[in-house]
Every structure is written in C-alpha cells, then in structure tokens.
Amino acid sequence: MSTRTSTGTARTTLAFALITATALTLTACAGGEPATAPAGASGAPAAAKNALPTEDVVSAVARNEAAAKLLPADVRRRGSLTLASSVATPPSSAYLPDGRTVVGVDADFAGAVAKALGLELKREVVGFEAILPALGSGKYDVGTGNFGVTEERRKAIDFVTYINDGQGFASRSDSPLKAVTDLTQLCGLKVAVNAGTTFERTLEQNQGRCAEAGKQPYEVNVYSETGAIWMSLQQGRSDVVMNTINGARYAVTQQRNVKFLGEYRRLDVGFAFKKGTPLAPAFQAAVNGLKADGTYDRILRKWGVTGSGIPTSRISPPELPAPEK
C-alpha cells in the first residue's frame, strides 16, 4: 500500500533551506566553491561545499543567428518568452541567499539558450506539479524543472533535451542497503519522493513486485517540497529517498550520516513545451550551438555534473528503457 504525505507550504524557497537546517550539518571537508573544483568521474561535486557557484557562464554567449531564424515570427517580434521554473535543490535549481535569484543547471541552460536566441526570459517560479498542465493550457511558453522525458509525458508535452539525469537513491548511513539495483530491495521500507515526479510513478507502477516476491510492500511517502524528503529521512520517518541522480549526489555531500545508493535508471532531461510547439527547433539548434562554442561544457563543469552531458540535443526522443526486472 502507499502512504501519501505532503508538506503544508507551497513556497519552494523552503526546499534547499530544509536540507541545510535542523541539524543537517555540513560534512567536515567543506570549503570553497563547489562547481569550480574538478568533478569526479561520476560527475558529482568533488567535495562538500556550502556556497553555491557564482561563475557567470551566460553573459558571454553570442547570438546564434541560425537558431534565432527558426523562431516563430511573433516570438521574434515580441522578443521574450514566459518561463515556468520549478526550484528544488542544487545542482538543478536553487535560490541564492537573497531568496529571489534562481541559479542552477536549469537556470544557466535557460539563460544561455535565451541569450543565443536573442530573447528575454520572463521567469515565474511555479510548483513542479503545476508546470506541465500550465504549459498545456498555454499559460507559459516553456518550463524547466529537471523534467525527465517519458512516454507518458510525450503524449502531452514536447521536449528539447539538454542533459541526462535520472533516478537515484539515498539512505541514512546506518542502513544495511549498499546500493539499490532492483525495486524489490525496497520491500518493507518507507520511500520518500516528490509529488508528480517520475519517482512517484515508478514506485507506484511497481508496487506489486513485493507481493510477487512474497515480501511486505514498500510505502511511498509523497512530499511537495524536496527539502521535506531529506528531513523525513533524517528524522526516521522514511528509510530511503528516491531523487534525481545529481540531486541525491549533491545532497549527501551536504548532510551528515547520509549515503548515496547509486543510480537506478537514466532519463533524458529537457525543456518542456506545449505539444506541437513551434519553438522546439530553435531551442534544439541553440542547445547544439552551446555545445559547439564550449558554453555547454562550462555549465556542466560549473555545477559538477559532467557525467550528465549528452552528445546532441533532440526533440522528444523516446524514453530511455527502464532496468530489466
């Protein structure tokens, strides 16, 4: 059976604050800025850090005339796009200490693409669950939120890919789990996830596997704030967290007594648009232009996610296959 839990606030500024609050002390190797230090082979930050990177990798981006010509005429005339942005935790997205400035992988790629296309981005911070429906209704032009490309989402949403991330697990250090490679390893445990994510969908779609294996089912604890899933882990209300690979890797560097349990599956991640959008070709050309001029790699290095690079941007590619049962 599934247990659904949610936090009482819709304010996404709480997300990263919750990670660093309530006794989630930084590890002893803290110091310096995370993104400018070399990343390990996995693409994870090389060491625990407190400060978010501030390197400017966007302002020097030159206009990509070939990509800009692919924009619809009305967008070129308007000169701007509305962006719905979900803010969760680094390295995907976070707030600077001012509580207003959004930074992260998503923000840098969105800003760099807009610069290449000669457009102004009008950003609005929106809850993760609300973005895809809002795109479908035409309220926003584009959305970011580390959205993994899935077959279910492709029915209603178009994507332009810019990184590869996916699903990973973490637990307290005293957990007997060493790695999670099969969901039946979670049987009898409480798993914390964010609402409306591929994590929630994956766990709910596979809940019957514990019964098939003659084991107790796992519980799925669903939270609206990313920080709350880590708090539930630290407080013992959850046994395991399922999160993005990059997000889990980063979070365990910022907390004591937490360990990364490895990657479960990879997914392409992309800008999200209303189905049938005419914006996709221009965004694809802009992302590939960033790869050609070196901006793409600079963004990955800044956030310590070099393992998430993709060879080329694609428009709504098929969902990457899930691990075999």
pLDDT-based confidence at 28, cuts 50/70/90?
very low
Q: For residue 35, is pLDDT > 80?
A: no
Q: For residue 36, is pLDDT > 80?
A: no
Average pLDDT (138-153) is 96
Residue-wise burial string across 262-271, b where 16 or more C-beta atoms lie within 10 A, e elsewhere? bbbbbbbbbb
Q: Would you state the structure tokens that stand for residue 227, as one six-digit string?
A: 């920080």
Farthest-apart Cα atoms in the chain, separation: 62
Over residues 80-128, the pLDDT tens digits come to: 999 999 998 899 999 999 999 999 999 999 999 999 999 999 999 999 9
Assess contact for 57 and 211: CB atoms under 8 A.
no
Over residues 57-69, the pLDDT tens digits come to: 999 999 999 999 9
How many other C-beta atoms can be found within 10 angstroms of the C-beta atom of residue 103? 20
Assess contact for 86 and 128: CB atoms under 8 A.
yes
pLDDT-based confidence at 227, cuts 50/70/90?
confident
Which residues, in sequence order, are bridge partners of residue 171? 240, 259
| β-bridge pairing 120-125 and 80-85 | parallel
Q: For residue 11, is pLDDT > 90?
A: no
Over residues 179-203, the pLDDT tens digits come to: 999 999 999 999 999 998 999 999 9
Percent of the chain with pLDDT over 90: 80
Which segment of 74-78, 251-255, 294-298 scores lowest on mean pLDDT?
Answer: 251-255
Q: For residue 145, is pLDDT > 50?
A: yes
278 upstream amide cis, omega within 30 of 0: no
Over residues 262-300, the pLDDT tens digits come to: 999 999 999 999 999 999 999 999 999 999 999 999 999
Q: Give just the sign of the alpha carbon dihedral 108, 110, 114, 120.
A: negative
Which DSSP symbol is given to 307? G
Degrees to nearest 5, angle at CA 66 with 64 and 67: 65
Assess contact for 210 and 325: CB atoms under 8 A.
no
Q: For residue 169, is pLDDT > 90?
A: yes
DSSP 135-158: HHTTS-SEEES--B--HHHHTTEE
> What angle separates helix 295-302 from helix 105-117, to the nearest 10 degrees?
160
pLDDT-based confidence at 225, cuts 50/70/90?
confident
**pLDDT score, position 226:** 85
Give the span between the Cα atoms of 69 and 117, in whole angstroms: 8
Q: Which one is predicted more confidently, 133 or 44?
A: 133
pLDDT-based confidence at 4, cuts 50/70/90?
very low
Cβ within 8 Å of residue 227, ≥6 positions away: 14, 15, 16, 17, 18, 19, 21, 89
Cβ within 8 Å of residue 136, ≥6 positions away: 156, 157, 274, 275
Assess contact for 272 and 135: CB atoms under 8 A.
yes
pTM, full prediction? 0.83
